[in-house]
Amino acid sequence: MVTFWVAAFIFVTVGIGLIYTVIRFRRKPGQGIPKQVHGSTKLEIGWTIVPIIILGALAIPTVMTEFYISEPPAGDQLTINVVAHQWWWEIEYPESGVITANELHVPVGTTINVEMTSNDVIHSFWVPKLAGKMDIFPGKTTSLWFRADEVDEYFGQCAEFCGESHVWMKFRVLAEPISEFEAWQQKQLADAAKPTTPEETQGASTFVAKGCIACHTISGVLGAAGVIGPNLTHMGGRGTIAAGTMEMNQDNLREWLSDPNEVKPGNIMANSPMSLAYTNPNFALTAEDINNLVAFLHSLK
Ligand code: CUA
């Protein structure tokens, strides 16, 4: 408001002076060319120094306010670590040990302190309805705080161009009542659901045999401890596939597994017919493999 009123005063003063000058010194009929002058050292120095003083003075409350609003409020805080990847979000709750992806569950009304770093290039964390943007860099930690005051689903998006599928680097913040949040956390800490149908059982074996375990963790599945891709222990319980690219359902899972690069260009998920062998190993999944994997992954609520 200080900046606003100072700017408003300058705007009005300059505006009045300009209008007065235009009217008062308007060229009259029959008048010749006025006296031509060039430069005025006093004026030049004046209109250089005065703005320096005004802007210098305004910088003090501005910087103080910047520091004030970037400081999280006192009281209960929950820290969440976010690691940005091309093109998904790894989310860790250091207090409970929960690791998930692309969905930040948060208790409503609690100050959330997000500590961020990147695994590859520069990304930017942005949930327009909850907070400003914060850039995320490899080899550096940046942080931001927000508080969701209403139970709701808030849309988030990477806001720094980070490659081919930057636009598909979405996420969601799910603000829940504290009891629901606690229940969610407990569920995440549990091992993956055991397969119940023959397809699910076969899908679990395919997941191991085809090498999916090299990149993905599914807690409770022997050998599935990869950390290159998202943790899939409870992936069926998430709302979307591939960081908000598509809704979570069996049809979309099938489409995703059939050709991940068609769905999300440039990603390093395996089995893309278009993929280059050295970046994306093509695991040549058969239709049956895919059906079983879909049943298995979808059951991991
Ligand atoms: Cu990550 Cu754009």
| pTM metric for this prediction | 0.81
Per-residue pLDDT at 271 exceeds 60: no
Q: What percent of the chain has pLDDT over 70?
A: 96
Segment among 35-44, 134-143, 149-158 with least mean pLDDT: 35-44
Per-residue pLDDT at 144 exceeds 90: yes
Of 106, 117, 286, the closest CA to residue 210 belongs to 286
How far apart CA 68 and CA 81 sit, in angstroms, is 22
Per-residue pLDDT at 278 exceeds 80: no
Cross-strand bridge partners of residue 136: 123
Per-residue pLDDT at 131: 93
Distance from the alpha carbon of residue 7 to the mean position of ligand 1, in angstroms: 36
pLDDT band at 281 (very low <50, low <70, confident <90, very high): low
Ligand 1 contact via 160 beta carbon (within 6 Å): yes
User: Domain 198-298, CATH 1.10.3720.10 — does that match?
Assistant: no
Mean pLDDT throughout 197-201?
A: 93
How far apart CA 62 and CA 150 sit, in angstroms, is 30
Distances (CA, A) of 22 to 17, 18, 26, 27: 9, 6, 6, 9
Per-residue pLDDT at 276: 47
Per-residue pLDDT at 211: 84
| CA 234 from centre of chain | 21
pLDDT band at 280 (very low <50, low <70, confident <90, very high): low
Question: Ligand 1, closest atom to CA 121?
Answer: 1
Q: Are strands 103-107 and 170-176 parallel, antiparallel or unpaired?
A: parallel
Close Cβ partners of 296 (under 8 Å, ≥ 6 residues apart): 195, 199, 200, 201, 202, 203, 204, 206, 207
Per-residue pLDDT at 37: 84
Distance from the alpha carbon of residue 5 to the mean position of ligand 1, in angstroms: 38
- Cα angle at 239 between 215 and 273, to 5 degrees? 45
Distance from the alpha carbon of residue 170 to the mean position of ligand 1, in angstroms: 9
- Spatial contact of 80 and 106, defined as CB atoms under 8 Å apart: yes
Domain 198-298 in the same topology as domain 77-177: yes
How far apart CA 290 and CA 278 sit, in angstroms, is 22
Among 73-82, 149-158, 281-290, which range has the highest average pLDDT?
Answer: 149-158
Distance from the alpha carbon of residue 161 to the mean position of ligand 1, in angstroms: 5
Per-residue pLDDT at 27: 87
Mean pLDDT throughout 197-204?
A: 93
Per-residue pLDDT at 242 exceeds 60: yes
Per-residue pLDDT at 282 exceeds 80: no
Question: Ligand 1, closest atom to CA 87?
Answer: 1
Mean pLDDT throughout 160-185?
A: 95
Ligand 1 contact via 162 beta carbon (within 6 Å): yes
Per-residue pLDDT at 34 exceeds 90: no
Per-residue pLDDT at 9 exceeds 60: yes
Close Cβ partners of 231 (under 8 Å, ≥ 6 residues apart): 90, 99, 100, 101, 216, 217, 218, 219
Question: Ligand 1, closest atom to CA 123?
Answer: 1
Q: So where are the chain's domains?
A: 77-177, 198-298
Question: Ligand 1, closest atom to CA 86?
Answer: 1
Mean pLDDT throughout 100-105?
A: 96
Per-residue pLDDT at 284 exceeds 80: no
Distance from the alpha carbon of residue 205 to the mean position of ligand 1, in angstroms: 33
Task: Indicate the average pLDDT of the chain.
Answer: 91
Per-residue pLDDT at 198: 94
- Spatial contact of 260 and 269, defined as CB atoms under 8 Å apart: yes
Per-residue pLDDT at 62: 93
Per-residue pLDDT at 111 exceeds 60: yes
Arch. (CATH architecture) of 77-177: Sandwich (2.60)
Per-residue pLDDT at 275 exceeds 80: no
Ligand 1 contact via 166 beta carbon (within 6 Å): yes
